[in-house]
Structure 1
Amino acid sequence: MEKENNSIVEVKKILNRVHTFMSLKVKGRLAQKSTDGLGKGCDQFCANVQGLYSACLEYLEKWMTPMEEFSSFMWMDLSETPDWNDVEACIKHLGEKGVPIDDAKCFDQVTNLKKFTERCNSDGEFNGLQAHQKWTKYFEKAKSIACYSELLKIAQFFFAVPSQNANVERLFSLMQASGPRKGTSCLLSH
């Protein structure tokens, strides 16, 4: 989830797949312990585990709430052939943000994108690529910028949105670990 180059859609899809899970091995041990007369302890353990899972899921849902603003961009991972209605919702969202997209041009460009994704999505290698890599392939295959100018605007906005702050956190950790060097000042201390 904290890959350096994940898009916000990829992170959102990962978070949506989080579910509670207890392995068969653990379930078997709990069943054995219950048979051994430790049913109350097993019930308490299960309640504690469920509480932990619930707290984690609640935390993730709070973390995901700001991502809902970008739901109209879910089609941009190109895992499926784009649907015009999804693209149109994205265009409306960008219009509200002051990013003008010519929907007539974009419609034609999406038609070309659909053909591209239909050809590529049968390719297992393409499906294994991250969203930015799929878009790079699309832009490289296009004949000219006129074939993707409006899609490029959408992609530029979309890929400028950071999907997480792990890289910044790592940088601050490294800065703190190394500390200020002799003859330099640390901007964080001012």
Structure 2
Amino acid sequence: MAAAAARRLRVLTRRGSLSPAPSTAAPAPRSPRDPRALCTLSTRLRSGAGEDEIERIRREFEDAKRNYLSIPAAIKDMPKMNPQGIYVNKNVKLDDLHVYGFDYDYTLSHYSEHLQCLIYDLAKKHLVDELKYPESCLKYEYDRSFPIRGLYYDRLRGCLLKLDFFGSIEPDGCFFGRRKLSLSEIKELYGTRHIGRDQAKPTCWADGCLLF
């Protein structure tokens, strides 16, 4: 009985008496990379349908450009700060200070390329004249290719280190004297490239910022 019904259904389907029910599902969106979608977009642009959007983007760009160019004038017109309202958060007895230092980040002036050489030479002279280092130190010359900023000096192992934001030794940032250590040598010394808080105690580490 079931076999006869199945044969009857196949016959009706071949004759066209039965057809699949139409799908009520929404068509799947086309991928932006679909050639048909690209053709549709190209057709819209050629027909002028996208000109309004392009014009809107152009207007927003021009507005942003005008705002940027007007910044200097806006700053110039700002009211000046009251000198009496500027103060430090911590009192400092200036009578006890002999030297004023400024942060080395071009906040006050632009430094020439000769400044680092001058600092290096003055540091050598100070080491020899004041701290009684050997006079052979004076023969060394400043090397621009050698790391100079954001460094740490490991007092226990004698290594000069460059650490990244996460406190890890950079692959090319570990020196013993002037010799760069390999990754295997770094692992042998520290066990890992990451420096823990226990290893970075003040008694073991010194901030070697700038040249020192």
Q: Which has the higher strand share?
A: 2
User: Max radius of gyration: which structure?
Assistant: 2
Output the TM-score relative to the length of structure 1.
0.27
Q: Which has the higher helix share?
A: 1
Output the TM-score relative to the length of structure 2.
0.25
